[in-house]
Every structure is written in structure tokens, then in C-alpha cells.
Amino acid sequence: MQTLGIDIGGSGIKGAPVDTETGQLAAERLRIPTPSPSTPEAVAGVIKQILDNFGGTGGPVGITFTGVVKNGRVLTAANVDPLWIDFDAATFFSAKLGRPASVINDADAAGLAEMRFGAGRGIGGTVVLLTLGTGIGSAVFLNGQLVPNTEFGHMEVRGKDAAARASDRVREEKDLGWEDWGARVGEVISRLEFLLNPDLVIIGGGVSRKAEKFLPAVQGQVKVPVVPAQLQNQAGLAGAALVASESAAST
């Protein structure tokens, strides 16, 4: 079964149909720059363009959002317009797009995909996924079950948010070498190791494609196994589509 996944980010909105049996994209993803200002109306317009590009029969659509999402309502908004805060995004998108829409935190979506199809498949105990990009997103699983809306990117490390020290954007802005940046990421994971005692940590986001450049420096600071996401940067789309497909099947 194919379901459309949409990933709303601070700089771009991506979408693609996803084979929800395998987690693989069924077509090359389309990326459109996030509008400025990134109001709900403007973002809905971009998503409509993506839907029109892929066509389809009007089935469900899964949408990720960079913030806390409970029952389809956005409670926090990072890197997008503050109009999203306390906004019923699922109801809004369903009406605007003319099809059932599910909305989920972006890191939670990526984690669901990795647990179903990727590096977390079949792993019990506590699994943490960290998405390293503009900020740091987190998803936590206990025996395969999601603990939603964790925000470990805002955990304090050396007096700052973890994201302010170890996001991929910080690596680029400070022109950090891979080993130096890996040490920063390792410091964040060391803090998580102290707090959660995870059995596995998965590194997601586009930077996971270059895992061999920084994971040795990360692993040198922690005992927990740290591995790259197998679905890499498409995990969010796959997870969003999975949530929409399963939500539609249960109604």
C-alpha cells in the first residue's frame, strides 16, 4: 500500500509516496522551500502542491511537524511561525487537503520508521533515536513502544541546549571537523546514557549518510552501541506515512 508522507521543516517541506509494507519511497521525493512567513495557510498551500504533483486517489496523508504534537494539535513550534502553537493541525490539514491527515512530531515519525523497518527492528529494551539537523530531535522507545514528544534536544549540556552544541547546523556554522563534532555528539549521548541507560542509540537525519566520519569519536565516549539510521533522511516521510496508513485502517 502506498501512502503520502510529508515532512515540514524550517527550511523545506518534503513529500513522497511511501510503500508502507517496506518503508521505501515509491517515487523520488519533492522538496519545496518552506514559505516565509510559514503560517498554517502558507504551509498548507505548499503541501497541496506536493499532493497535486503525486496525484493519487485522495487517500490519507501523514505529516511530520517540528514540535510537540498531541492528538493532532501542535503545542510547540521550532523554526516555524508561532501561529502554529496550540493549533489543531490535523483537523486543519484534513479540511484544507480534502483527505484524512495525521500529524506527528518529526523525530517520533523517524523513530517509528527505524523501529519498524530499520536499525531498531527487533530491538527490545530502551532505544533512543536522535535526529541531527537544524536542531536535535529525539524519539524514545521502550520494548518497541513509542514514548512520544520527548525533547532531549533541549537537554542542558555545558549550560546550553544540546542542540546549541551538537546539531548539524552548529557543525556547519562553527566549521567543526568531524572528530571534534563527534565528540560533542558523544557528550550529548553520554548525558542520555546517564539519564536513561538505553540499549541502543540510533543517529538519524541527513548526516547519518556520513556516519563513518564521526561515529568513532561518538562511540569512544559512551558504552551504549550507537548506529546510523538505515532509512537515513527518508525515515520521517516513512514514519508519517505509516502513522496515516494505520490510523486510516483503524477507523
Whether 170 has a pLDDT exceeding 80, the answer reads: yes
Q: Is residue 41 part of a domain?
A: yes
In a shared domain, residues 159 and 92: no
pLDDT tens per residue, range 96-111: 999 999 999 999 999 9
Helix ranges, 68-167 (H) = 89-97, 106-117, 162-166
Instruction: Flag the least confident range among 43-57, 109-123, 225-239.
Output: 43-57
State the pLDDT at residue 58: 73
Query: Domain residues for 49?
Result: 2-108+234-249
In a shared domain, residues 207 and 134: yes
**pTM for this model (two decimals):** 0.95
Query: 199 pLDDT band (50/70/90 cuts)?
Result: very high
Whether 1 has a pLDDT exceeding 90, the answer reads: no
Whether 95 has a pLDDT exceeding 80, the answer reads: yes
| The residue to which cell 505548499 is assigned | 46
Q: How many domains does the chain have?
A: 2
Kindly report the CATH number assigned to the domain that includes residue 21: 3.30.420.40
Q: Whose CA is closest to 92, among 118, 67, 127, 63? A: 63
Q: Is residue 114 part of a domain?
A: no
In a shared domain, residues 171 and 81: no
Q: Is residue 88 part of a domain?
A: yes
Q: Is residue 115 part of a domain?
A: no
CA distance 4 to 164: 32
Backbone angles phi, psi at 32, to 5 degrees: -125, 135
In a shared domain, residues 97 and 14: yes
Q: Is residue 116 part of a domain?
A: no
In a shared domain, residues 55 and 134: no
In a shared domain, residues 147 and 100: no
